[in-house]
Every structure is written in C-alpha cells, then in structure tokens.
Amino acid sequence: MALALRCLRPLPALLHRSSFAMTRGLPQAPRGCPAPLLEGCRQCVQQMLLSRQLATKKAKGKGQSQAKVNISAALVEDIINLEETSEDMQAVIQALKEDFSRNLSVRTSPGALDHITVVTKDGKFPLNQLGQISQKSPQLMIVNMTSFPESTAAAAKAIRESGMNLNPEVDGTMIRVPLPKVTREHRESLAKLAKQSTNKSKEALRKVRSKSITQVKKFKNKVSEDTIWLLEKQIQQMADEAAMEMDKLLAAKTKELLG
C-alpha cells in the first residue's frame, strides 16, 4: 500500500502539464508500479497514454478511417520537441507565401524587386539597400545604382536571374527594367514558376520531416516500438497537413495568375 501511494503521489503535477489528461481525466498508475521517483511514474503514465492511442488505432476495422494520432508534446519532450517540428514546417509554408507575394504577380511593382539578393564582393545584400528603385511608367522600372556603382553589374545579373522574367538593361549606373506585357503566355509562365516554388517548398518540408523522424529513431532502444510508431505517424500527419496547405496556396495563386 505504501509503495502504491509513493508511486501515485507525483502524478497530479505531471498530468497537469498534459492537455490530454485534462480533457480525459487522470489515469491511474499501473498496479504494483515499483518506481518511487517522478521519472518512473512519468514513464508509466506515458506508456499508458501511448498504448491507449495505439489501441484506438488498431481497433479500427478494415475499410474504416484510422483515428488521428495526437500525442501530447509534454509526454514525449525527452524524445523530440514536436512544437519545434511544427514551427519548422510552418516556417516553410510562410516562406512560400512570401515568395508568391514578392515574386509572382501579374503586374510587377517596384516592391517586387526590393528583396532580390545581390551578390557582391562584400557579401549578399537586398537590391533596395544598394539602389533606389522607382517606376518610371507602367512598362518600365529604374534602379539607380549611383550610391554603389561598383555593384551595378551584379544587381543587373540578380534581376535577370530572379525568376521574374525580367531583362534589365544597364545604362551607366542606371538599370532599366522593362516590364513584360500581361499576355496569356506571361501568365502561364508565372503559374509554372508558382508550381516550381511549391515543389521546392515541399522538398524543404520533407527535410524537416526526415530530420524529426531520424531524431525519434535515436530512441528506438530506449522506448517501446509502439511509442516510436506513434511519433513517426504524428510527424507524417503534420507533414501531410502542411503539404495540403501548400497545395491550397498553389491552387489559389494559379487561379489568380491565370485569371
């Protein structure tokens, strides 16, 4: 009896950290749990909750959808930081949104050139830090490189290779940037660039997923096989949801570009 009480004493403090426990009620420690320390009981509770989730998954019959894995990050924080994994995936999505906004517009504006990266002998700089960008007419933008004339050629190269279908012309320290006409061909070209950007972002997403799964597998000799399986499943679900969000962004951007 004394042994059981000693095992159960630290459970409330532990379970308070788990949103799962708060919504499902406090699970009881296994009968006869021999661990007198917090970590021992923590492992017992973690295994119970993970086993419960695995049992739910296995209970699904053939032809039925599987239950979504949703492991409390607090219960597996010693194995992997799931919140950090989620943040890394969201960062990839945000980068794709910014790329769509800056570089893929039917009508190019001066702001679209601001963050083009120019490689100089002193390092890499955004174009708007090296030159003054202005729109002279609906069909022409000017980049004044008077402040950094030595970077004029590098700036023109960066604009040409930006993927925005621009062909700059250098005139002294002035870079003339003719804007392409809004033709069907131009719209389709931008839509292809949007698809390419999305594919690159999905590749970055796969790297985040692979890195996280590799981290989980480092613990395969320290935790149960069920725990490893559930974590890999949840990471894959997170990656699938992020990829679906990217597909929605691409569909909306394609519709905008093609009109």
Among the ranges given (37-41, 148-152, 221-225), the one the predictor scored with the smallest mean pLDDT:
37-41
**Longest Cα–Cα distance in the chain:** 89
* Mean per-residue pLDDT over the chain, rounded: 79
| Pair 238, 199 in one domain | yes
**Structure confidence by residue, pLDDT tens digits, 63-102:** 445 567 777 777 788 899 999 999 999 999 999 998 888 7
pLDDT value, residue 107: 67
| Pair 90, 189 in one domain | yes
pLDDT band at 23 (very low <50, low <70, confident <90, very high): very low
Q: Is 32 left (phi over 0), alpha (psi -120 to 50) or beta?
A: left
The encoded tokens of residue 244 equal: 């679906």
pLDDT band at 218 (very low <50, low <70, confident <90, very high): very high
| Pair 115, 97 in one domain | no
CATH assignment at residue 162? 3.30.1360.40
pLDDT value, residue 190: 86
| Pair 143, 191 in one domain | no
Please enumerate in sequence order all residues whose Cβ is within 8 A of that of 113, keeping only pairs 6 or more positions apart, or say none: 127, 128, 133, 141, 143, 159, 162, 177
The answer to whether residues 15 and 21 touch, using CB atoms and an 8 Å cutoff, is yes
Neighbours of 128 (CB within 10 A): 16
Q: Which domain holds residue 236?
A: 73-104+183-258
What average pLDDT score do residues 198-205 get?
97
The DSSP secondary-structure symbol of 38 reads H
> What predicted TM-score, i.e. pTM, was given to this entire model?
0.62
Residue 132, SS3 per DSSP: strand
Q: Pick from 178, 197, 226: which residue ends a domain?
A: 178
Report the run of H or E that residue 55 belongs to, with start and end.
Answer: helix 38-59
**Residue of higher predicted confidence among 111 and 192:** 192
Q: Pick from 154, 178, 202: which residue ends a domain?
A: 178
| Pair 98, 196 in one domain | yes
Residue 247 clears pLDDT 60, i.e. is over it? yes
| Pair 91, 123 in one domain | no
Residue 33 clears pLDDT 60, i.e. is over it? no
pLDDT value, residue 12: 45
pLDDT value, residue 108: 67
The answer to whether residues 104 and 190 touch, using CB atoms and an 8 Å cutoff, is yes
Query: What is the total count of domains within the chain?
Result: 2
The answer to whether residues 26 and 40 touch, using CB atoms and an 8 Å cutoff, is no
Neighbours of 184 (CB within 10 A): 9
80 within domain boundaries: yes
Say what percent of the chain tops pLDDT 90.
47
Residue 205 clears pLDDT 80, i.e. is over it? yes
Please enumerate in sequence order all residues whose Cβ is within 8 A of that of 255, keeping only pairs 6 or more positions apart, or say none: none
Among the ranges given (180-184, 203-207, 211-215, 234-238), the one the predictor scored with the smallest mean pLDDT:
180-184
| Pair 187, 163 in one domain | no
CA-angle at 35, arms to 29 and 36, nearest 5°? 105
7 within domain boundaries: no
Question: Based on the number of CB atoms within 10 Å of its own CB, is 37 exposed (0-12), middle (13-18) or buried (19 or more)?
Answer: exposed
pLDDT value, residue 1: 44
